[in-house]
A and B are shown apart, each in its own frame.
Chain A
Amino acid sequence: MSYFKVNEHCNGCLACVQNCPANALDYLDQGGKRRLLHNMTLCARCGNCWRVCPHGAVEFQHLLHGQWDEVVTMDLVTCMVCGDPLHTVDLGKSLGEKLTREVNPLCPRHRRAQSFMVWKQLSPDKGTAGEAGL
């Protein structure tokens, strides 16, 4: 996915490539095709490409208001009472190695409450886990 987008007026003249001060634009002529390349890690978002394009083809708004990229997906631990997300499973493991006792996954609200009340709510003879209402 590229944040550097051009519209149908781009004719591959390479004005943007030649005038990019950060060398964030490049091109590849191969197999009878010209491909315009953009490297976001080099891009300073200075607007020079948009400024010098003789055809008004650079859609610079995509470099000002881009979208979020997903970086990584991890499993979550949730509060055993209300189900609110607490932390990742991996973070829980890292912290667990440093603790001398097991800590129940509880959100701040339910951790403040008396723990036996929580257990009472979760105990089999009281039914399934749910809102403790503490």
Chain B
Amino acid sequence: MIVAKTKSIEEIASSIADFEKVLIIGCGSCMTVCLSGGDKEARALARDLSNPDFYRGDPPSLRADTFQRQCERDLLKAYLRIPEGVNAILSLACGAGVQTLADVLDPVPVIPALNTTFLGALDEPGLWREKCVGCGDCLLTLTGGICPLARCAKRLLNGPCGGSSKGKCEIGEDVDCAWHLIVERLAARGRLEDYEKIYAPRDWSLEKGGGPRSIRHAPRQFPA
């Protein structure tokens, strides 16, 4: 899922200080599950931001609501209701949700309250780790289901490097060396021949080298 973390309360407060009436909108999908921007976080943020110490003048009037998925334009247009007089939105969606909301509600400014951080998975309660960079050319078949692009600090395709020690990466003792994990898993599966392959430089146009990416799926069927 998409994982994000909340910006500092001071940064958020300064970004809404010039508005009188702000609607805080949580997002009911990834941001709820990663405990960063769901309904609970939206209401807690409204309470925190109502502290007048953050503002030179009067604090904005704050209301909190949650929408199931802020990244779906047509659902937002049909079902999102903005209370009268709201002159700014503080969104707890990922960057995709913030941008979609900004398009739908233009010219009302939509301000992000989160820093969208990575595509990750829940490794243990409360701990999400990055697992995928969305490279557009998945190689997990060959690496035992462990992505070196997302989980190796150097994004090495042919690792490990000399910074791998006792299974850990040189950047931190709590960071596993992805290539150590890959070698261990391939060995356990009797697939070390996959490790012996030399990976050629990748086609980075499938990642961001080709500009913003899009995918179109045709509806399966439209009955008359």
Question: Which A residues fall within an 8 A CB radius of B?
Answer: 13-15, 18-19, 45-47, 50-52, 54, 60-61, 63-64
Query: In the complex, A60→B78 CA distance in Å?
Result: 10
Assess whether B72 is in contact with A15, with CB atoms less than 8 Å apart: no
Cβ contact of B79, chosen from A46, A51, A54, A60, cutoff 8 A: A60
Binding stretch for chain A, among B14-22, B52-60, B142-150, B214-222: B214-222
Cβ contact of A64, chosen from B68, B74, B223, B224, cutoff 8 A: B68
Assess whether B223 is in contact with A14, with CB atoms less than 8 Å apart: yes
Question: Which B residues fall within an 8 A CB radius of A?
Answer: 67-69, 72, 74-75, 78-79, 219-224
Which B residues lie within 8 Å of A15 (CB)?
221-223
Assess whether A47 is in contact with B222, with CB atoms less than 8 Å apart: no
Assess whether B69 is in contact with A19, with CB atoms less than 8 Å apart: no
Known A45-B68, A45-B69; judge A52-B222 contact (CB<8 A). yes
Which B residues lie within 8 Å of A63 (CB)?
68
Assess whether A52 is in contact with B79, with CB atoms less than 8 Å apart: no
State how many angstroms separate the Cβ of B33 from the closest Cβ of chain A.
Answer: 13
Query: In the complex, A45→B224 CA distance in Å?
Result: 24
Which A residues lie within 8 Å of B69 (CB)?
45-47
Known A45-B69, A60-B79; judge A54-B223 contact (CB<8 A). yes
Which B residues lie within 8 Å of A60 (CB)?
75, 78-79
Query: In the complex, A19→B74 CA distance in Å?
Result: 17
State how many angstroms separate the Cβ of A25 from the closest Cβ of chain B.
Answer: 12
Beyond A46-B69, A50-B78, 14 additional contacts (C-beta under 8 Å) are A15-B221, A18-B221, A19-B221, A45-B69, A47-B69, A47-B74, A51-B74, A54-B222, A54-B223, A54-B224, A60-B78, A61-B79, A64-B67, A64-B68
State how many angstroms separate the Cβ of B44 from the closest Cβ of chain A.
Answer: 21
Which A residues lie within 8 Å of B222 (CB)?
15, 52, 54
Assess whether A52 is in contact with B219, with CB atoms less than 8 Å apart: yes
State how many angstroms separate the Cβ of B161 from the closest Cβ of chain A.
Answer: 40
Q: Which 7 A-B pairs have the closest CB atoms?
A: A13-B223, A18-B221, A47-B75, A15-B223, A64-B68, A19-B220, A45-B68
Smallest CB-CB separation from A16: which chain B residue? B223
Which B residues lie within 8 Å of A54 (CB)?
222-224
Q: Give the one of A50, A60, A61, A64 with max B CB within 10 A.
A: A64
